[in-house]
Amino acid sequence: MFLHTCVSLNCVRCNSVEKKIYVHLNYKIPCVRLLNATHQIGCQSSLSGNVGVLHVLESEENLDWVLRSGPNPPYMVILEYRLFTRSIMMKLKNGSGRVAGVAVVAPNTNPAAGFSPHNTCPNENTGVYTEKYDPTMAHCNVTVWNPLGNGLSYEEFDFPIFSLKDDNETQVIRQCYYDHNHVVNGSAPQYPLCAMQLYSHMSAVTDTATCMRRNDINFSLNPDMVCDPLGDFNVWASTRPINNTAKGHKNGESVVIAAARLDSRSFFFDIAPGAESGVSGFVTLLAAAHALRNVTQEAHLNRTILYTFFQGETFDYIGSSRMVYDMEKNQFAVDLDNVHSVLEIGQVGLRPNSTLWFHSDPVSRRNNSVNEEVNELIKKLRAAATGLNVSVEEPGFSQPLPPSSFQRFLRARPIPGVVIEDHKSAFTNRFYESMYDNGEYLNISYPPNMTPEEQLEHITDTARALTEVATMVARALYAQAGGAESQLSSINADPQIVRLSDSYLWSNRFIFIDNICCSFLITFKFLPANLYVGVAVQQSEPTYLVQHLLANLTGSNRFISPSPPRIFSCFLPQLYYYFWVQGAAPPNSTERQGFCVRSTVRLSKALSPAFDLHQYTSTDYSTWTESRWKPITGRIFLVASHDLEMLTLGVGIGILLTSLLLTYFFSSKAEILFSSGREPATATY
């Protein structure tokens, strides 16, 4: 008991000493390592973490202190967001011998200037526009879609880069710098200096082929994997039940695919709001699907509408390429012969002068039958926009398709299709695939002093605008599926459903989803969504969310039950997907009324075919993997001068040697030193 108490007291003392030495960073989002067929990108620290003296960079001219004149390298550079540019980051990269790492202070509001760490030509090597398809349109020769792209997300840095929130913790870091490291009149600061340690060591190196090979050579019972393929699940549903058990071609079935993407990314691992690039499109499609629920159940349409939400499109079209591959191999519910046309909703959140653009592929339209179908679809879209606050236009006939999932279908065969965007040529999105592509950028805001309950009823200007787009999409899909033109005016999207864009991008989305979709998502955090696709070993939050939202918005309630039924014995799992919903409590009651929802919602793999085929150097499919890592940590502390450290080490070694000599001396002379105190062995009493 005494020993246990001593150990406990020693642990408490160790913890208290550790807390006095280090200040740990709570909010820290790292840049992580990704790999593909040819190389690696991203950031990492050394195996023991990178340590450097703090330096707050105040201007680009101040870089000389970090890269050349500063007397205490390596430095851990603190960057304000306005200095997080390609020019500065590449200078730090090239001077990495004096740079231990970078911490970027994320602003609380978006910057005025545009910023996109993505490439200027997204997915240029895996889209339809190759040298073989049409060399004049390959590599964005006609249109540079993302002119603000600086390519930082595709650079490799051999030091860690973290994002920090601009809050009290960041103020502590700044204060530590100004108290100990601040340069005054060009003179070097005196020790002790404020230092930072960042730990984000990555296990994978070189490329995807290398890391996947290392995954396969583990012989232990618990193999130590070094990387995982990027991937998730596509979400799809149909207006008529399709037998999902019998794969491949369906005789007499004609399908209109309505598509949107689910994912986004930014430079940092866990920050991918994707407001304009992702959310605006898939929320519009969800609202359109809801608007069509009743009318498609009542009418007998010639064609089936297939709502598809693709995952992993940011990384060389993972989701759409997988669906096309499955259709070609008869591993999906329908095949490409069943596909009549495609209507894709892209970036539609920013509409200058309320204009939407209908993009199509000029190469496939050289085929007369494809051209006629595209013209017919555009005609229906124009008719659907009549009476709405939406003006629609077509770009020039020579304008290629923007980056879109539809391109992967065109790689397989000529299919009629249109991609709806809010830009004619270059993106209007100034923050494409960045941390700033958020709700603020879409002008999603609420009047001051509004309670969360009042926010649930408030319709923002963005929600109103997307409602108009969703109504147009729903009407056009209905007409494309063979619906009567006389019914179009009765099809209208619900602005409360479109409010998902507001709720999904802000921290109140849990409350709103609880209200709309009957409280089955009880584990979600009060945080803005992260649309990064993640690795294929688990289903992401956006996928789970959209799967159940789509089921609620397009399905039907079968029966009310206070608790989940044990089995669905009388149902048809090959045609429908069933799940039990906790339900909402009626007025003046605390007991929720659960019910069963029947829908046609399904999940299909969004994993690149390259990993099933073991073609890790494929040029046809995505080969992106994510490195595994140990826990991400960061902390600041005071560091003594090198001379003082050497002196302390020398004194410690001297004390150790002295103690060893004394121990040897006393041990060798023990018989002499301690013999006088002994009593004779024959002594008696």
Give 185 or 324, the one with higher predicted confidence: 324
Count the domains in the chain: 2
Predicted local confidence at residue 677, as pLDDT: 54
Residue 632, φ and ψ in degrees, nearest 5? -85, 125
Q: What is the CATH classification number for the domain harbouring 73?
A: 3.50.30
Give 347 or 167, the one with higher predicted confidence: 347
Q: What is the CATH classification number for the domain harbouring 425?
A: 3.40.630
Asked whether residue 132 is domain-assigned, the answer is: no
Residue 11: strand, helix, or coil: helix
Burial class (CB within 10 angstroms; exposed 0-12, middle 13-18, buried 19+) of 187: exposed
Predicted local confidence at residue 571, as pLDDT: 62
Say if residue 388 is in the same domain as residue 512: yes
Over residues 478-501, mean pLDDT: 90
Predicted local confidence at residue 12, as pLDDT: 47
pLDDT for residue 512 is more than 90: no
How far CA 334 is from CA of 3, 249, 406, in Å, comes to 70, 5, 17
How far CA 481 is from CA of 359, 364, 475, in Å, comes to 20, 22, 10
Say if residue 161 is in the same domain as residue 277: no
Asked whether residue 494 is domain-assigned, the answer is: yes
Predicted local confidence at residue 7, as pLDDT: 43
Predicted local confidence at residue 102, as pLDDT: 97
Over residues 588-612, mean pLDDT: 89
Give 354 or 488, the one with higher predicted confidence: 488
Highest mean pLDDT among 251-255, 457-461, 573-577: 251-255
Confidence of residue 456 (pLDDT cuts 50, 70, 90): confident
Asked whether residue 129 is domain-assigned, the answer is: no
**Where do runs of H (alpha helix) occur along 136-279?**
168-180, 208-216
Say if residue 473 is in the same domain as residue 572: yes
Say if residue 509 is in the same domain as residue 556: yes
255-259, 481-485, 520-524, 558-562: the lowest-pLDDT one: 520-524
Distance CA 221, CA 463 (A): 52
**Model pLDDT for residues 296-307, shown as the tens digit of each residue:** 988 889 999 999
Predicted local confidence at residue 680, as pLDDT: 57
pLDDT for residue 384 is more than 80: yes
Angle at 461 between CA 459 and CA 467, to 5 degrees: 75
Percentage of the chain beyond pLDDT 70 is 89
**Model pLDDT for residues 144-186, shown as the tens digit of each residue:** 999 999 999 999 999 999 999 888 889 999 999 999 998 877 6
203-207, 301-305, 490-494, 671-675: the lowest-pLDDT one: 671-675
Say if residue 156 is in the same domain as residue 275: no
Say if residue 265 is in the same domain as residue 176: no
Confidence of residue 565 (pLDDT cuts 50, 70, 90): low
Say if residue 44 is in the same domain as residue 90: yes
53-57, 523-527, 577-581: the lowest-pLDDT one: 523-527
**Model pLDDT for residues 39-69, shown as the tens digit of each residue:** 999 999 999 999 999 999 989 988 999 999 9
pLDDT for residue 600 is more than 80: yes
**Strand order of the sheet with strand 50-57?**
23-24, 633-639, 193-199, 50-57, 75-80, 99-106, 161-165, 29-30
Amino acid at 572: L
Say if residue 599 is in the same domain as residue 636: no
E strand or H helix at 340, and its extent?
A: strand 339-345
Residue 106: strand, helix, or coil: strand
Confidence of residue 35 (pLDDT cuts 50, 70, 90): very high
Q: Which domain holds residue 549?
A: 232-607
Say if residue 342 is in the same domain as residue 410: yes
Over residues 528-539, mean pLDDT: 85
Over residues 74-94, mean pLDDT: 94
Predicted local confidence at residue 646, as pLDDT: 86
Distance CA 664, CA 321 (A): 74
Nearest residue to 384 via CA among 487, 530, 282: 487
Say if residue 198 is in the same domain as residue 258: no
Give 675 or 313, the one with higher predicted confidence: 313
Give 91 or 6, the one with higher predicted confidence: 91
222-226, 244-248, 606-610: the lowest-pLDDT one: 222-226
Say if residue 584 is in the same domain as residue 637: no
Predicted local confidence at residue 237, as pLDDT: 97
Whole-prediction pTM value?
Answer: 0.89
Asked whether residue 679 is domain-assigned, the answer is: no
Predicted local confidence at residue 475, as pLDDT: 98
Asked whether residue 599 is domain-assigned, the answer is: yes
Asked whether residue 626 is domain-assigned, the answer is: no
Predicted local confidence at residue 90, as pLDDT: 96
Asked whether residue 311 is domain-assigned, the answer is: yes
Amino acid at 37: A
Burial class (CB within 10 angstroms; exposed 0-12, middle 13-18, buried 19+) of 150: buried
The per-residue pLDDT of the chain, averaged, comes to: 88
Predicted local confidence at residue 75, as pLDDT: 96
Give 303 or 270, the one with higher predicted confidence: 303
Confidence of residue 524 (pLDDT cuts 50, 70, 90): very low
Say if residue 193 is in the same domain as residue 236: no
Asked whether residue 529 is domain-assigned, the answer is: yes
Nearest residue to 49 via CA among 196, 164, 165: 196
Predicted local confidence at residue 681, as pLDDT: 55
